[in-house]
């Protein structure tokens, strides 16, 4: 690598415009890699991260935002053995400290540290990780921990702007793994009209679900997802009335469902989450990956008599991107269902604005050039 500088979008103060500025190429950390970015995913709420209104536990200012990316390795640290120069890799932001202990520090690189109450009470260890791995992927070059870089062997024939759909799918994939979804299961995806919920529908079908009950408030979005993903998807527009939603979900499932994944975003009501739970068979599991501004009220008697499990799940196992990539390479998962809108990296502010309007299977990306 001959270049000594690269350009990156840097946030110097919340509420200020991002600056596309020159930076020096960093010295590679022994456990890190340098990656030339080909495509990077833009989250729908990135504008609120940049203006500070989400109040995330962001890295120390100034920093480069951005989470998931596809790129080519340009240099590797002395301790790195699983990826080599020239290889295409998927960059995941979810870094968990490789240390013994009950609760190792973790961060989402280029976005936030995480703590016991999501973004409040962040442990000092997570802040320390952010000091080392501060910058994200909205740049020409990214310095990344090798433990969060997955080689994408056998996928060079797929354009990087298409491969970045892995970043949309891997989050609900983690939830479905936690749910224990098995081939032949009937699964409910609540919030299926949303950004990650629609991807959850895709993943459930790819993992062999016999039927996917797609629950959400936006009928048109649910129908779009079903039309693209296939006949095993049954849309259920939710009314928000508990009793009628239970009836509708069970009718679509052909009885009680096996497992469920909830991906609501900042929901003002948990009625559809409760309806989803009550539509599960005895011993069914509901995995929560979304968020709500009100409590989820569970009934002790119902939980005990039905042997239900309700579990929270943050992100995905470190091996998940590699498993997902193998599904793509083998043809078990078609990334073509995701609608991707691309912007040159120099137009990141326009991409952030566009991302704020995304629906269901949309994805906004910035690409090199």
**CA dist., res. 276 & res. 216, Å (int):** 11
Residue with tokens 């609501």: 264
Q: What does the pLDDT look like over 263-304, one tens digit per residue? A: 998 899 999 999 999 999 999 999 999 999 999 999 999 999
Question: To 10 degrees, the CA torsion angle through 169, 172, 178, 182?
Answer: -70
pLDDT over threshold 70, residue 117 = no
Checking if the pLDDT of 120 tops 80, the result is no
- What is the predicted pLDDT for the residue at 119? 56
d(Cα 281, Cα 339) in Å, to the nearest integer? 34
Q: Are 182 and 270 in contact (CB under 8 A)?
A: no
What percentage of the chain reaches a pLDDT higher than 70?
98
Identify the pLDDT of residue 116: 53
pLDDT on residue 99: 85
Domain boundaries, the chain: 5-165+338-367, 169-312
In this predicted structure, which of 46-50, 69-73, 117-121, 239-243 has the lowest mean pLDDT?
A: 117-121
pLDDT of residue 124: 87
pLDDT tier at 2 (50, 70, 90 boundaries)? low
**Cα–Cα distance measured from residue 150 to residue 327, given in angstroms and rounded to the nearest whole number:** 14
For strand 141-145 and strand 32-42, is the pairing parallel, antiparallel, or unpaired?
antiparallel
Q: Average pLDDT of the chain?
A: 95
**Of 62, 184, 191, residue with least CA distance to 135:** 62
* β-bridge pairing 88-91 and 149-151: antiparallel
Nearby residues of 24 by Cβ (< 8 Å), 6 or more positions away:
4, 5
Domain 5-165+338-367 grouped into CATH 3.40.30.10: no
> Across residues 170-179, what is the average pLDDT?
98
* 5-165+338-367 and 169-312, same CATH topology: no
Q: Tokens 């959850």, residue?
A: 200
Q: What is the pLDDT of residue 118?
A: 55
By CB atoms closer than 10 A (0-12, 13-18, 19+), residue 99 is exposed
Predicted local distance difference test score (pLDDT) of residue 27: 95
Please state the φ and ψ torsions of residue 170, each to the nearest 5 degrees: -70, -25
Which of 3.40.50.1110, 3.40.50.720, 3.10.28.10, 3.40.50.450 is the CATH number of 169-312? Answer: 3.40.50.720
Sign of the Cα torsion 336, 237, 177, 231 reads negative
Size (the chain), residues: 369
When pLDDT is cut at 50, 70 and 90, the band that residue 331 belongs to is: very high
pLDDT of residue 103: 83
More reliable by pLDDT, 2 or 96:
96
Q: Return d(Cα 19, Cα 175) in angstroms, integer.
A: 35
Predicted pLDDT of residue 115: 61
- How far is residue 261 from each of residues 12, 77, 109, 215, measured CA to CA in Å? 37, 38, 25, 10
Give the tens place of pLDDT for each residue, 123-138.
889 999 999 999 999 9
Residues of the chain with pLDDT > 90: what percent?
92
- d(C-alpha 308, C-alpha 358), whole Å: 34
In Å, what is the CA distance from 330 to each residue of 155, 231, 318?
Answer: 10, 21, 20
317: exposed, middle or buried (Cβ count in 10 Å: 0-12, 13-18, 19+): middle
Cα 285 to chain center, whole Å? 21
For the question of whether the overall pTM of this predicted structure is more than 0.85, the answer is yes
What pLDDT, on a 0 to 100 scale, did the predictor assign at position 3?
Answer: 80
Rounded to an integer, what distance in angstroms lies between the CA atom of residue 271 and that of residue 269?
6
**Helices 166-179 and 195-206, axial angle in degrees (round to 10):** 60
For residues 228 and 247, give the distance between their C-alpha atoms in angstroms, rounded to a whole number: 26
């Amino acid at each position: 690598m001959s270049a000594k500088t690269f350009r990156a979008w840097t946030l110097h103060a919340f509420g200020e415009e991002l600056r596309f500025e020159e930076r020096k190429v960093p010295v590679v950390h022994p456990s890190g890699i340098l990656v030339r970015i080909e495509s990077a995913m833009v989250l729908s709420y990135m504008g609120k991260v940049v203006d500070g209104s989400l109040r995330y536990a962001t890295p120390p200012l100034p920093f480069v935002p951005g989470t998931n990316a596809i790129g080519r390795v340009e240099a590797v640290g002395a301790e790195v053995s699983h990826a080599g120069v020239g290889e295409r890799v998927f960059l995941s932001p979810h870094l968990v400290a490789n240390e013994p202990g009950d609760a190792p520090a973790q961060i989402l690189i280029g976005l936030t540290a995480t703590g016991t109450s999501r973004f409040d009470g962040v442990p000092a260890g997570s802040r320390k990780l952010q000091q080392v791995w501060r910058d994200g992927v909205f740049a020409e070059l990214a310095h990344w921990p090798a433990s969060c870089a997955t080689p994408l062997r056998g996928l060079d024939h797929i354009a990087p702007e298409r491969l970045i759909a892995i970043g949309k799918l891997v989050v609900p994939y983690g939830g479905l793994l936690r749910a224990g979804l098995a081939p032949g299961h009937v699964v409910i995806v609540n919030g299926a009209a949303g950004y990650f919920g629609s991807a959850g529908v895709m993943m459930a079908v790819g993992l062999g679900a016999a039927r996917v009950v797609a629950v959400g408030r936006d009928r048109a979005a649910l129908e779009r997802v079903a039309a693209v993903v296939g006949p095993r998807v049954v849309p259920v527009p939710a009314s928000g009335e508990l009793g009628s939603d239970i009836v509708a979900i069970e009718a679509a499932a052909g009885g009680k469902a096996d497992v469920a994944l909830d991906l609501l975003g900042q929901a003002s009501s948990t009625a559809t989450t409760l309806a989803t739970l009550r539509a599960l068979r005895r011993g069914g599991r509901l995995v929560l990956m979304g968020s709500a501004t009100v409590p989820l009220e569970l009934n002790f008697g119902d939980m005990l008599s039905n042997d239900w499990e309700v579990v929270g799940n943050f992100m995905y196992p470190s091996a998940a991107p590699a498993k997902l990539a193998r599904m793509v390479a083998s043809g078990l998962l078609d990334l073509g269902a995701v609608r991707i809108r691309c912007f040159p990296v120099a137009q990141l502010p326009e991409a952030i604005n566009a991302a704020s309007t995304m629906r269901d299977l949309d994805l906004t990306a910035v690409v090199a050039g």
